[in-house]
Amino acid sequence: MHTHRTSAEATGHDHSHSSAAEDGTTEVVYGFPARLWRALERHKPPGMDLLQRWRSPLRGPWLTSVFGSVLLVSLPVVILTGLLSYIAYGPQFGEAIPGDVGWLKLPTFDWPTRPSWLYRLTQGVHVGLGLIIIPVVLAKLWSVIPRLFAWPPLRSIAQLLERLSLLMLVGGILFELATGLLNIQYDYIFGFSFYTAHYYGAWIFIAGFVIHVLIKLPKMVTSLRSQSFRTVLRTSRADTRPEPPDVDGLVAADPAPPTMSRRGALALVGGGALFVAVLTAGQTLGGFSRRAAFLLPRGRNRGTGPDDFQVNRTAAAAAITPADTGADWRLHVRGPSGQMLLSRAALEAMPQHTAELPIACVEGWSTTQTWSGVRLRDLADLVGLSNPARATVRSLERRGAFNHAVLQANQVCNPDSLLALRVNGVDLSFDHGYPARIIVPALPGVHNTKWVRSIEFGHR
Amino acid sequence: MRRLITRFAAFYGSNPLHLLGTVAAWALAGYAVIVLGPHALWNSKVWWQSIAVWFLAAVIGHDLVLFPLYALADRSLTAALAAMRNRRAGPSPRVSPLNYLRVPTLAAGLSLLLFFPGIIQQGKATYSAATGQSQEPFFGRWLLLVAALYGFSALAYATRLAVAGRSRKSIDNQLDTDAHDTNGEI
């Protein structure tokens, strides 16, 4: 009986409101089992009315769609640069974390070494844009909060599935933002592996994001067309009116007088994004702007000396002792057909090459310095390999996930790929990897192994 | 066919694409959990250091934690300003201070939210291992930022009040002249 009436209603609805029907679940009709959804609607919990007294005159599909469209453009960029970072770590050598991710990665390719600022750019964008959109994400969540308490919560199976998928969307984005924010500040209070959680969390978010976009895109376009952006920008607070009532209940039934114009709200959110940009971009851009990132670890200056740039992992933390790196230190170079031990003096006697290269970390910060030392391909020549396909670099550091790194052919053979002995005209400092460290163009920071003990070149 | 789709939509509540897309999304998420290994979601030694717990906390983090806090703060602020306006005998200020309080408070809150690990010195050991520095300066720097935010807002409000006062005065003068003219005509 109920079902029959429902389908009749649905058909009638389809004809009279064809645009509403495109929105799928938003019509006031009941899917199967209609009896259950109706019963749910009748049994409104006490206090629910109180929760539905939204007063903001600014909330509405247009405002939500403006925030949504900003995120629709920016989030794919954040997602893509994040997935590229995984490739930059070299999953084909087992160097990326988490190790085996099945099909959950971009097709693997050899990460380029040109331009040398490639990783600085992709990871700077990943972290920087991820930070900048935080005010927009919060504004978007604020703008749709009436939906959370809408009653009845469900009218069909479609709505049930859709609302469940919001768990992936909302949980995913805030999980990614929270873990990312903690990681760039070296706060590992969450206890689990950042790389693993952030990577799989991203895929949960991608699932939620894609389905949300597919379901809501038509509504977003319709809502954006409901008002002209220009008109909104010309409307003062006094002339600000609520949007017309909508099926989703975003528009308040009993709105309070506006305390802010809609353009004011947009300026507030945009200003928030700009505020975050000013406070964070300096860690990537460096130079004078670094001072503006004064609340971030990498916004701080260490001094004015030639080796007073940002340190990632101190010698003390890596348990490197002066005895390890003293006069007895030798670099062990190995190839398929030979090996040799080189003292620092022997390395200094080889042809020296100088290159200006950035160190760019997964945390989004970077710093460009002038490095000099021996070309990696010259070292390969020493052990009789003119075209090495790869090199495995090991550090004096005994423990730590990054005490070794595998470099692929283009990373070994690039003329700017160095075993650096000096930086900015002085010997490397202890914290920067004395007696010798790797520096390779566009390689993620942690793979530029410090305190190098051995390099093994291989055919394959 | 069309009839079939209509009947499906009536039963399910949306078009078939909706169902296909949602199932695909859940399957992808399920695959991600399988590859991660479901056991990795849960830390049996320290329950709150579990990925699952953090994910669920993220689900409710804004809607049930952050939102009630800032909504309550905003309603209190609005109500307090209204109460002050009503209690005061004289004319109310020509420009509401509401947004001049909201904006710096939001900015201070946002910066606290983003940078709290440094501000409260959480993760000292990993911080100094990574950077060779301490987190000590951050709390002071954040306080300076807060001071600057509220300071600039106060300055902006004072300017706005002055401008409003001047334009009110000129409007008043204009009204006086108008009244005079009218009187003259009558």
Same domain, B29 and B81: no
Domain count, chain B: 3
pLDDT at residue B178 above 50? no
Q: Hey, which residues 80-99 in chain A have their CB within 8 Å of chain B? A: 98
Same domain, B175 and B102: yes
Residue span of the structural domain in which B10 resides = 1-36
For A170, the closest of B59, B133, B137 (CB atoms) is: B59
Which DSSP letter does residue A243 get? Answer: P
Token pair recorded at residue A84 = 């590229």
Instruction: Select from A160, A204, A163 the least CA-distant residue to B26.
Output: A204
Same domain, B64 and B136: no
For B127, the closest of A138, A167, A297 (CB atoms) is: A297
For B13, the closest of A158, A298, A300 (CB atoms) is: A158
d(CA A135, CA A67): 10
B106 Cβ under 8 Å from any chain A Cβ: yes
Q: Which of A137, A185, A365 to mutate to test the interface with B (most CBs of B within 10 A)?
A: A185
Cβ contact A260:A58 at 8 Å: yes
pLDDT given at position B171: 59
**How far is CA B172 from its chain centroid?**
39
Instruction: Select from A419, A345, A344 the least CA-distant residue to A381.
Output: A419
Chain A residues with CB under 8 Å of B99 CB are 259-260, 264
pLDDT given at position A124: 98
Token pair recorded at residue A234 = 């010309």
pLDDT at residue A364 above 60? yes
Q: What phi, psi does A457 have (nearest 5°)?
A: -95, 145
Return all residues near B30 (Cβ < 8 A) that are at least 6 apart.
none
pLDDT given at position A4: 39
- DSSP characters for A160-177? HHHHHHHIIIIIHHHHHH
Which stretches does DSSP call E strand in A140-251?
Answer: none
Q: Look up the ipTM and state it.
A: 0.91
B55 to A175: CB separation less than 8 angstroms, yes or no: yes
Same domain, B13 and B73: no
- Rg (C-alpha) for chain A, rounded Å, is 28
pLDDT given at position B69: 96
CA A400, A404, A408, A412 dihedral sign is positive
B21 Cβ under 8 Å from any chain A Cβ: yes
What is the residue extent of each domain of chain A?
Answer: 25-280, 331-458
One-letter identity of residue A397: E
Quick one: closest CA in A to B23, which residue?
A161
pLDDT given at position A28: 61
Token pair recorded at residue A212 = 């949300």
pLDDT at residue A14 above 70? no
pLDDT given at position B16: 93
The pairing of beta strand A426-427 with beta strand A418-423: antiparallel
Could you give the count of Cα atoms lying within 13 Å of A174 in the half-sphere of its Cβ? Answer: 24
For A101, the closest of B35, B106, B129 (CB atoms) is: B35
Quick one: closest CA in B to A144, which residue?
B63
One-letter identity of residue A151: W
d(CA A410, CA A214): 40
pLDDT given at position B181: 43
One-letter identity of residue A58: L
Helix axes B98-119, B137-185, angle to 10 degrees: 170
Q: Model confidence over A253-289: pLDDT tens digits?
A: 999 999 999 999 999 999 999 999 999 999 999 989 9
pLDDT given at position A23: 45
Residue listed under structure tokens 């990614």: A176
What's the maximum distance between 2 C-alpha atoms anywhere in chain B?
91
Instruction: Select from A437, A435, A360 the least CA-distant residue to A394.
Output: A437
Per-residue three-class SS string for chain B: CHHHHHHHHHHHCCCHHHHHHHHHHHHHHHHHHHHHCHHHHCCCCCHHHCHHHHHHHHHHHHHHHHHHHHHHHHHHHHHHHHHHHHHCCCCCCCCCCHHHHHHHHHHHHHHHHHHHHHHCCCCHHHHHHHHCCCCCHHHHHHHHHHHHHHHHHHHHHHHHHHHHHHHHHHHHHHHHHHHHHHHHHC
pLDDT given at position A12: 35
Cα of B185 to nearest chain A Cα, Å: 34
The pairing of beta strand A366-375 with beta strand A426-427: unpaired
For A165, the closest of B25, B129, B131 (CB atoms) is: B25
Q: Which of A136, A163, A204 to mutate to test the interface with B (most CBs of B within 10 A)?
A: A204
Specify the fold of A331-458.
Answer: Sulfite Oxidase; Chain A, domain 2 (3.90.420)
Q: B120 versus A32: which is more confidently predicted? A: B120
Q: Range with the lowest mean pLDDT among A17-31, A184-198, A352-366, B84-98?
A: A17-31
A278 Cβ under 8 Å from any chain B Cβ: no
pLDDT given at position B180: 46
Same domain, B113 and B144: yes
User: A132-155 b/e with 16+ CB inside 10 Å = b?
Assistant: bbbbbbbbbbbbbbbebeeebebb
Chain B residues with CB under 8 Å of A311 CB are 130-132
pLDDT at residue A145 above 70? yes
Cβ contact A133:A71 at 8 Å: yes
Q: A9 versus A56: which is more confidently predicted? A: A56
Residue A423, phi-psi category: left (phi > 0), alpha (psi -120 to 50), beta (remainder): beta
Which DSSP letter does residue A447 get? Answer: G
**Which pTM value belongs to this model?**
0.92
Instruction: Select from A202, A209, A212 the least CA-distant residue to A105.
Output: A202
Sequence length of chain A is 460
Same domain, B103 and B166: yes
Beta bridge partners of A356: A370
Q: Hey, which residues 29-48 in chain B have their CB within 8 Å of chain A? A: 29, 31-33, 35-36, 40, 43, 46
Query: Is the link from the previous residue into A98 a cis peptide, with omega within 30 of 0?
Result: yes
Q: What phi, psi does A422 have (nearest 5°)?
A: -135, 155
- DSSP characters for A306-361? TT-S--SS-TTTTT--TTTTSTT--EEEEETTEEEEE-HHHHHHSPPEEEEEEEE-
Same domain, B180 and B106: yes
Q: How far is CA B159 from CA A261, A326, B43, B165, in A?
A: 20, 65, 56, 10
Same domain, B108 and B186: yes
Cα of A337 to nearest chain B Cα, Å: 38
The pairing of beta strand A452-458 with beta strand A331-335: parallel
Cα of B173 to nearest chain A Cα, Å: 24
The mean per-residue pLDDT over the stretch A222-249 comes to 94
One-letter identity of residue A203: W
Cβ contact A4:B7 at 8 Å: no
The mean per-residue pLDDT over the stretch A64-90 comes to 98
Residue B167's pLDDT band, with cuts at 50, 70 and 90, is confident
d(CA A321, CA A309): 21
Q: Model confidence over B141-160: pLDDT tens digits?
A: 999 999 999 999 999 999 99
Q: Range with the lowest mean pLDDT among A20-24, B103-107, B120-124?
A: A20-24
pLDDT given at position A175: 98
Same domain, B49 and B111: no
